[in-house]
Amino acid sequence: MSESLFADASKRLEQALKYANISEDAIERLKYPKTSLTVSIPVRMDNGSLRIFKGYRVRYDDTRGPGKGGVRYHPSVSLDEVQSLAFWMTFKCAAVNLPFGGAKGGVTVNPKELSRLELERLSRGYIDAIADFIGPDIDIPAPDVYTNPMIMGWYMDQYSIIHRQLTPAVVTGKPLSLGGSLGRDTATAAGAFYVIETLMPKFDQPAQNTTVAIQGFGNAGAHLATLLYNAGYKIVAVSDSKGGVYAKKGLDIPSIRRFKDTQKGLQAIYCEDSVCNVVEHEVLSNEDLLGLDVDLLIPAALENQITETNVHNIKAKYIFEVANGPTTSAADKILAEKGIYVFPDILVNAGGVTVSYFEWVQNRSGLYWTLEEVNQRLKQKMVEETLKIWQIKQEFSINLRTAAYVHALNRLGEALSAKGTRDYYLGS
């Protein structure tokens, strides 16, 4: 991970500050993370050897509430990456008006190389190391890349053992049987779908005439593909970490999902009951997928996928960022010059943290909601904040990313100023 990732992430604020109502004191506070933690996690491997893994947790800002953010397990995890993700989470929570600050965590590991027992030891060891750094009123972890409800259950259990009391609200994204929320597993995809459905009519882009390519067929990407497919969009390409498939006539998403669940790979197939037939398709790389001539391009994998190097290959009309930070600031400028609309991650993928908030509320109240209630509240939140950000875009004639940051900055600035600023203390 480049050391400049955080510096690049910070550039998102430059344009937004011209339009935001925020004090110099607040701007200064937002330049730096509140606190960062780096830990070593010793894990006894199945063969008896001892390995040490590096772990991180960054709480960027907690002015509006406890830190909130996922934990990812990935070989490229670094402090710079985690700090950048915590920065984005700060603005994401403010953009959709959640009473949270921004945080993020990670462990530098390839989880695919670990046995299930080793994965559990690593996960419990991570919580042992950061237990004093998190809590229901301090910082609340959640799933991210290569972490899942089972791992969140281990987190909650280990934290509860350490503190000698059951504490379900310390972690979100847990299994339902351990206090998880209905709808959390599909929340990121559902939130993105509501944003797409809210904005596409403004461009006279009906679903049945819209082609879609999705980079990243993990939890968020696969669920979003299903939602779009069921709504009539034509999904022509999907990819995972090993590569992708493309069919101009469109892909049968339910069949592809069933195939991946059983075979752990992608194949363009059509299944009717138990009979599956391979359909004509092209095999393509993740890079090739980004350059397809489609209406909607949805990066749903990792950050820094669209850069100065490949941005000139982008042909899509609209980009919806389901991944965190998939587009660099330099690429953003070129996309704007090409007339390509980019709908930013801090809005598009905010469904996950929104339902994480719902789970936290349910854990603290002891009152649990139905799936219908969760989805209704999520849709209301996503549509409401999307329309507010669209209004800011129209008012100042700026792009959607800048408008989203303006929206978030205004809320953060108000909270930070409530604690006192230079103007207040000088009586001006």
Distance CA 73, CA 60 (A): 20
Question: How far is it, in rounded angstroms, from Cα 60 to Cα 80?
Answer: 12
Q: How far apart are CA 29 and CA 101, in angstroms?
A: 13
Q: What are 313's two structure tokens?
A: 């290959």
10 Å CB burial of residue 54 (0-12, 13-18, 19+) is: middle
> Which among 80, 59, 78 is positioned nearest to 68, based on CA atoms?
59
Which helix (DSSP H) or strand (DSSP E) does residue 11 occupy?
Answer: none
| 104 included as an active-site residue | yes
Neighbours of 58 (CB within 10 A): 29
Contacts of residue 163, defined as CB under 8 A and 6 or more positions apart, other chains included, come to: 131
Planar angle of CA 141, 90, 122, nearest 5 degrees: 25
Rounded Cα gap, residues 109 and 151, in angstroms = 14
Cα(56)–Cα(58) distance, rounded to whole angstroms? 7
Q: Report CA-CA distances (Å) from 379 to 82, 108, 192, 347, 365.
A: 29, 35, 10, 13, 22
Q: Which helix (H) or strand (E) holds 41?
A: strand 35-44
Catalytic choice (92, 104, 234, 317): 104
Catalytic residues: 104
